[in-house]
Structure 1
Amino acid sequence: MTIEEASRAAGVKLIQRSSGGEPSCLYYKPQTGLSGVDFMVTDGRISRIDIANPKVTTLSGAKVGDSENQIKSLYAGQIQVEPHEYEPLGHYLIFVPQDLQDQSYRVLFETDGKKVTRWRVGKLPEVGWVEGCA
């Protein structure tokens, strides 16, 4: 989906924000309303959505502020745990879909070792880029 298509579907204008990356990787955010939600665009299409807003949940109800155990329970048997790149006690809790058609997508929860501090959803490899468009 392009930014224009997403803007029309959501009924809110998405505006480019400072990304720090190359022209082929940009970030957009809603002009009004929802804060803490950023859309990564690579090669003209949305490839990842970054969420830091505790009001935004996954379809299963996972959100910022949930415990690591809550995430593991919600997605039993589908979470890979990896050490966080910058948070010494933190983790990446990575939801890996079981359906074949969804194998190139992930939901990645960042934690401080106890609670979810932010999460992102998108396609590989972009969803795994630790520093976004940097």
Structure 2
Amino acid sequence: MRKLNSLPKFVTLLIGTIVIFVVWVTSVNAQVQLTERSKLALNGIGPIRVGMTVDEASQSAGVRLVKTQSGGEEYGCFYFKPQVEPKAISLMVTKGRIARVDINNERITTIKGAKIGDTEEQIFSLYPGQIQATPHPYVSRPPRNGKYLTFVPKDAADKNYRIIFETSGNRVTRFRSGQLPEVEYIEGCL
């Protein structure tokens, strides 16, 4: 009789362990895949980090990355993007490694929640005391009065990284993050 009573406890424990394992594997896989829910950080997006090779980034993100025309090939600067989804994300590669991430996708946000369409005031409030505003090199005249809003981290470990929000008419039109000096290149690889 005692063995019959302990069998259901063992089966229950085993089933519980299997369920926990499946939930854990599913959540880990969901975090690894690059999607529109992935957040832009100073040093990458979702599972992709500045400093990775294209192959490492592709494996880490679970997406195939394909080369696009950059105009800077002769200088060793290339752009890659996800073959299918998510759209409007570009990865700048210099010296064989990812140096910056460009975002033109309205659904993707930074870790703090900044996104395309936000006002300049929203960016200043999300990053208090850490935004440097400079005139946009191409959109700085009225009525658009565009700016570069550059997030400068306070942490010494992040001193070589930036997030740059480009604005026009007081609204974010695109943004990017990555390492210096590449993140500050105005025309990408050119």
TM-score scaled by length of structure 2: 0.69
In the alignment, does 2:108 pair up with 1:56?
yes
Cα offset, 1:113, TM superposition: 3.4
Q: Which of 90, 110, 121 is equivalent to 2:166?
A: 110
CA distance in 2, matches of 1:31, 1:9: 15
Q: Deviations over 1:75-128 (max 9, x none)?
A: 000000000000121000000000001000000000003100000000000000
Hey, what does 1:124 align to over in structure 2? 180
**How many corresponding residue pairs?**
134
What RMSD, in angstroms, separates the aligned Cα atoms of the two structures? 0.7
Hey, what does 1:80 align to over in structure 2? 132
Hey, what does 2:123 align to over in structure 1? 71
Instruction: Give the counterpart letter for 1:72 in structure 2.
Output: F
Instruction: From the two aligned structures, give the one with the greater strand fraction.
Output: 1
Cα offset, 1:33, TM superposition: 1.1
CA distance in 2, matches of 1:99, 1:113: 31
In the alignment, does 2:60 pair up with 1:9?
yes
Matches within 5 A, 1:5-44: 5-23=56-74, 24-44=76-96
Percent identity between matched residues is 55
CA distance in 2, matches of 1:67, 1:9: 33
Hey, what does 2:31 align to over in structure 1? none
**Where do 5+ consecutive residues of structure 1 fail to align?**
none
Q: Deviations over 1:8-47 (max 9, x none)?
A: 0110000000110134100000001111100000000000
CA distance in 1, matches of 2:170, 2:137: 16
CA distance in 2, matches of 1:34, 1:94: 25
Q: If you compute each CA radius of gyration, which structure gives the higher value, 1 or 2? A: 2
Which of structures 1 and 2 has the larger relative contact order (alpha carbons within 8 angstroms, sep 6+)?
1
TM-score scaled by length of structure 1: 0.98
CA distance in 2, matches of 1:46, 1:63: 22
